[in-house]
Structure formats: C-alpha cells, structure tokens
Amino acid sequence: MSQSLAYAAGRPERVMDVVRRVVALIRERIPAGWSVILSDEASRLGRGTAAAADLVGPDQARASLVIAAKRLIEGRDVERAIRQLEAGRADAAGEVPLLAASYLTPSVRSWLEQRRVSYGDAAGNLHIVVDRPAFFLHDVGADRDPWRGRGRPRGTLAGPAAARVTRALVDFRPPVSVPELIRRSGASTGAAYRVVEFLQREGLITRAAKGPVTDVDWRRLLERWSLDYGFQRSNAVTAYLDPRGLPHLMSQLASNQVGRYAVTGTFAAQRLAPYAPARAAMIYADVVGEIADALGLRIVDAGANVLIATGDYDVVFDRPAVDGGVNFVAPSQAAVDLLTGPGRNPVEAEALLDWMETHERDWRR
C-alpha cells in the first residue's frame, strides 16, 4: 500500500477528510479502465450519509457508493451507523452503502464483512463488493490504529484475567451484574470492569446504565478473543508422539490418573459437532512431564500427533465436560482453540460454533 497516502498526512481531522482519503485509496487500487468520482451533489445524500461517489466501469456502467463516515467508530457504533445509512434507501437501485472511518478495528471489519457491508478506512483497510457492475476490492492496511499515541492501550482481551471474564460472559446466559461476573470469573474487580468497558465499546455486549450486562454476542466475542489468545501462541506447548495412535491415547486418558488435564481442539469438538477425524490431540495439562510419562509419549521434533500446553491460563480447566471418562474443555474454549489452530482447524471451529448456536441451551448455563 502507499504509506505516504495512508499515513503521511496524519489522522483525518474532519469527516470529509476521511471520505477523501478513502476515495483516494480506492482510486489507487482499482484496475485500469475503472474510475471513482466523488460527488458533491447534495440532493443525493440522505440521513446518515456523508458523501456519494460514482464507481464507473470500463463499459461506463456505474454504481453509487453511498458513504457514511465518522472520524472515529467503535463496535458499539456500527449497528446505528448501518441503520442510518440504509434508512430510506431500500429501493435505491445501484446504490452500495459504504462505511468509512479513520480506522476500523479487525473485529469491526470482520463483523462488517459477515454482514456484507462494504467499508474503507484511512489506514488502508478496504472491502468493497458491488453486484452491478461486478466489482470486488479487498485490501488489508494497518491492524492497529497507526495514529494512536504510546499511552495506555485502548483495550485488548490479552491475558489470563481477560480470558476469565470472556469465558464467563460466554458460558453463562445474561443478565449478569458486574459483581456477579467477578464472582463467576474469579477476575479482579479492576480487570472485570476494564474488560466490560472494552467490550461495550466493541459492541460485543450490551449493558444497562450502571447496571447488569443484558446481552452478549458470544460468537463474535469468541472470534474477537481469538485475536488475542491462541492455544500455541499463549501457552508453552510441547510436541509428542504416541506411536500407538490417537485411539490408544484417548483410551489411556480414560483409564489412567494423569493429574489435571483437559482435551481441546478436534477431539473436544468431535463429541458435539463431528467434522472430520482428528489428526492430532491438543491437551492442556498442569504438569506436562507427568501426563506425558503416564501416557508413554515421546518428545519429537517432527511428526507429532499430540500437543500438550501449559501456562498461566487456568480458565481452560473451568466448566469442563467429562465424556467416556475423558476430561474435555468447555465448548467455548474448544472453539477459540480451533479458531487459532492450523490447517482445517478454523473450519472445524465454524462447524462447532454453528452447533453452539443451534444448541445454546445444551451448553450455556
């Protein structure tokens, strides 16, 4: 991407600066023969609309990008912005709503793509889909706000305390007061309030004014958590081989005392939403050497079929399921571990999340 175009001028100071920067970025990336023309025709602009731009194809077919823009937009602002953008425009043929901001976080961008809403930000993140004329543009710019100062981070879900609050919000049905959330999660008061405030800004939870959390978008919350947590990147993981195969491993877990552990990944998902045979076992354990010795596993550099993780995230052992004598992590933990796994793991995660949506009463307390 053009670093000078995206960043050199600094954060856009006005809404129309956002619009012009996004339109300029689109112009820089469109194929030869295409053009985008920013319109100043005020009569075309409806409520919630900052500007309109014509996207013109090589055959002169055109579509209108109807742009709603803000200097700053957080997750909690997105629903309202989209409603305003689409209000009164349902019958407007050839018009494509586009949300623009100085910066859109990865979770907001992911949510907009799921809702099939085009977007652009001044940091170079673009996703524009037009049916007629057929046009698709997707580009990734900054994954962090390039204009945010060095002060305290705005918020993340990194760390064991955030993991505890996240899991409690997902695993229990609302409403829940913050004091009750603190009790359920085991997180400190300060950590719980910081996470709740961050998730409110991200639009992932709804909370009454100084009251309880009344709604949790748990699927999007797990997807957001996966940006800050991963089975392998957040824990110390050792690779092993069970030369007798995975069925033998599972039978050994069922029949041996091996300390505190919990199976995650494909095996944890398989019992709820079978997708494909497991290629490897993913296990959390308090003491890695103890469980490896009890199961007769060998440390290997290549060809591993067992991964054992240990670390500071004790929440992985919360609310486990016991099936056939084997301890499994809760569905919420299995889902985030698959979302951050290699190969087909993310596809298995989507299958598990679909099952969780359909069977919410079976796993959510």
DSSP 31: P
Question: d(Cα 60, Cα 251) in Å, to the nearest integer?
Answer: 66
Q: Which residues contact 261 (CB under 8 A, 6 or more apart)?
A: 253, 283, 284, 285, 286, 291, 327
Position 59, amino acid:
D
Position 145 scores a pLDDT of 84
Q: Which residues contact 5 (CB under 8 A, 6 or more apart)?
A: 21, 24, 25, 28
Task: Please identify every stretch of the chain with a pLDDT value under 70, giving residue numbers as ranges.
Answer: 1-9, 40-49, 85-94, 149-154
Quick one: 195 exposed, middle or buried, by C-beta within 10 A (0-12, 13-18, 19+)?
Answer: buried
The residues with which 36 forms a beta bridge, in sequence order, are 55
Quick one: 246 exposed, middle or buried, by C-beta within 10 A (0-12, 13-18, 19+)?
Answer: middle
Q: Is the dihedral of CA 353, 356, 357, 363 positive or negative?
A: negative
All domains in the chain, ordered by first residue:
3-139 (no CATH), 160-225 (1.10.10.10), 236-363 (3.30.460)
pTM of the model: 0.73
Position 4 scores a pLDDT of 42
Please check whether residue 325 is in contact with residue 254, taking contact to mean a CB–CB distance below 8 angstroms: yes
What does the pLDDT look like over 54-106, one tens digit per residue? 999 999 998 989 888 888 887 777 777 777 766 645 445 568 889 999 999 88
Spatial CA neighbour of 171 closest among 225, 231, 123, 248: 225
E strands along the chain, which residues? Answer: 35-39, 51-56, 62-70, 95-101, 118-121, 126-130, 135-139, 205-207, 213-216, 236-241, 261-264, 281-285, 298-299, 306-310, 321-323, 326-328
- DSSP letter string, 154-183: S----SHHHHHHHHHHHHSPSPB-HHHHHH
Question: d(Cα 42, Cα 53) in Å, to the nearest integer?
Answer: 12
Structure tokens at 335: 């889902």
Position 50 scores a pLDDT of 77
Position 300 scores a pLDDT of 95
Question: d(Cα 63, Cα 48) in Å, to the nearest integer?
Answer: 19
